[in-house]
Structure 1
């Protein structure tokens, strides 16, 4: 979540981020700043009233005259009632402001190109050469079914649309790829973790998956949500703790099943095992000091 101070000082940058990320229907920065101004104005009044309340309490304790003391007590009572109403209103405005802040996107890096859709993505680099065949190649589903590696028919019978079984060598290959990824990260000094698959909602919010992607997550009857990536659990590992900079970077790698409702993907990639509701994945997280250059350096490793 962006610091409200950053938004106050850089409203144009944040407005542009909302526009470029096509989120104008999600958050109105001008309205947010209006709510923030209301909050600040009321906060100043509350703080003034609290100061007056403390002063009246001190004056009451010193006054000896009964009439004067009675008058001060009446003033203090009236002030207390006003303050109580203002504090209640302040809580409501603060809650509204905090909810709005959760929907404000991070501004993209200055070198990220703007595009209306994925078709405008720019290719940064390619690795390897595309193979060329003198015959029409089969897709992964045709090959998987012919070689008894993938069974989507029975998968759908048990789990509904996008359900599937991996069988025989495909199941072994999945495990081999996961193990290869784990070994790759261990060689680079990462700490391996198996992680909680069901997590409290506040940690989805803390890692920015809620409220944005809340409808894309499965929830349990106990109020927990199933992770769509081990990143949620890994990033929240040190939640509410203070880390010493000398102990950074903290390098973690997690392996877990991932659960995704894939809301909004109806009609996309309908053939094969794409946009599936459950899969296993290896995820890495590196906790660093707040330094963009350092973050870019680690991102490029």
Structure 2
């Protein structure tokens, strides 16, 4: 959510920042709504003050037996009483219009975000690892994994497209990956482990910028709760409405949860295989920090996600997303793309975003500056550390053997009970 005061003070700068996202100017319309809203508030306050003043004057006029003045004042009070509900109703309507307009406008990009229209304009800033050379033609996971326990047919029969039933050692490897990620982020990177709800209210989804714009991309229950699209929602909203002490910052939270996405906005993409599912697990990273610390925290968070890939010896590249490819709530985003030899391509496995005060303003989450009376909005950040299913795909493709088996990365052996290879199921 944007601060209407900053738009009012510098509308040209606001429109210029939106133009970098490829959007048309909107500041003039917002400022006009804001001016009308403030004028209505002033009119309502002035009218109420005059009504109170006139009411007192009526008593004084009657005491003096000044019937003409009393009658005039009574007529004025009656007129104000009749007019006030209309003013108050219009004020509420204009306020709702302004709020609805502001909540549909994406975050403004940071100054160092490259300008671009789409993913082709993202900037590669680093690569790690060398893709493995195979002495056979590597296969895609969708062709290789069914014989190892990735059961697409049963998942589809039970729940429909984009659901998968994992069996045996495949399920065990998936669990091992999640536990490995969670342990790494808590033990080495200082994130506090959480086990949050996966059903949340409207307020949590709204505060983390998932509503109202992306309602159709999420699943809603019959009692009007939402299945979280990511535990970013639960973790970030855990400080919703709070006034934090500066000494409590930074707050760093992580959770390994199920996530649910209807993928309404991704029709036709990655329908084959295990990359884009309606139900998946993810190790999420969330940070709540002071504004002056958010850029350094963004680098730190991204590094925490990179460490998972490096420990698993999975080659990847790091991209700085351009203005046209960033998410709605992000002011700056790094994507990590892992190498998939079966596809002969890098594919997204983590996205780490700094949202600045965008979510905090929607959640009304502030902190009290030490030694001062003033309060400020916190900055919030979120990232994947990592998406478990996509990491499973990367392990399968990078560690595949010519006989169709898959070796288990050394870093996971203590989590698999010594299981060192996925073998073909009989």
TM-score normalised over the length of structure 1: 0.92
CA shift, 1:260, in A, is 0.1
Map 1:121-140; keep pairs closer than 5 Å: 121-140=122-141
- Alpha-carbon distance in structure 2 between the residues aligned to 1:238 and 1:295: 17
Partner of 2:159: 159
Q: 1:152 to 1:16 in 2, by over 3 A?
A: farther
**Secondary structure at 2:194 match in 1:** strand
CA shift, 1:153, in A, is 1.5
Aligned residues: 296
Deviating above 4 A after TM superposition, structure 1's stretches of 4 or more consecutive aligned residues are: none
CA shift, 1:16, in A, is 3.2
- Alpha-carbon distance in structure 2 between the residues aligned to 1:124 and 1:47: 55
Q: Is the 1:53–1:79 contact (alpha carbons within 8 Å) kept by the matching residues of 2?
A: yes
Partner of 1:41: 39
Partner of 2:333: none
CA shift, 1:172, in A, is 1.3
Partner of 2:95: 94
Q: Which moved more, 1:209-218 or 1:13-22?
A: 13-22
Map 1:21-36; keep pairs closer than 5 Å: 21-24=21-24, 28-36=26-34
Q: Which moved more, 1:268-277 or 1:182-191?
A: 182-191
- CA offsets, 1:244-283, max 9 Å, x none? 1111112211221000000132221222112210001111
- Alpha-carbon distance in structure 1 between the residues aligned to 2:209 and 2:58: 50
**Which protein has greater RCO, CA pairs closer than 8 Å, 6+ apart?**
2
Q: Which moved more, 1:121-130 or 1:70-79?
A: 70-79
Unaligned runs of 5+ in 2: 301-426
Q: Is the 1:192–1:253 contact (alpha carbons within 8 Å) kept by the matching residues of 2?
A: yes
**Secondary structure at 1:253 match in 2:** strand
Partner of 2:297: 298
Unaligned runs of 5+ in 1: none
Partner of 2:240: 239
- Alpha-carbon distance in structure 1 between the residues aligned to 2:216 and 2:17: 23
Partner of 1:106: 107
Q: Is the 2:151–2:166 contact (alpha carbons within 8 Å) kept by the matching residues of 1?
A: yes
Q: Is the 2:12–2:27 contact (alpha carbons within 8 Å) kept by the matching residues of 1?
A: no
Partner of 1:175: 175
Q: 1:199 to 1:23 in 2, by over 3 A?
A: farther
TM-score normalised over the length of structure 2: 0.66
- Alpha-carbon distance in structure 1 between the residues aligned to 2:203 and 2:23: 23
